[in-house]
Amino acid sequence: MENFIESLTSEPIYLAIAVVFSIIILLGVIKKLLKIVLVFGALFILWIAYSVWSGNEVSMDELKENFQTGVDNVKKTTTEASEKIKENAIKQVEDKILPKKKD
Contact 45, 55 (CB under 8 A): no
**Looking at residue 100, what is its pLDDT?**
64
**Looking at residue 34, what is its pLDDT?**
92
Q: What is the pTM of this model?
A: 0.44
Burial track 50-83 (b if 16+ CB lie within 10 A, e otherwise)? eeeeeeeeeeeeeeeeeeeeeeeeeeeeeeeeee
| Residue ranges in the chain whose pLDDT is less than 50 | none
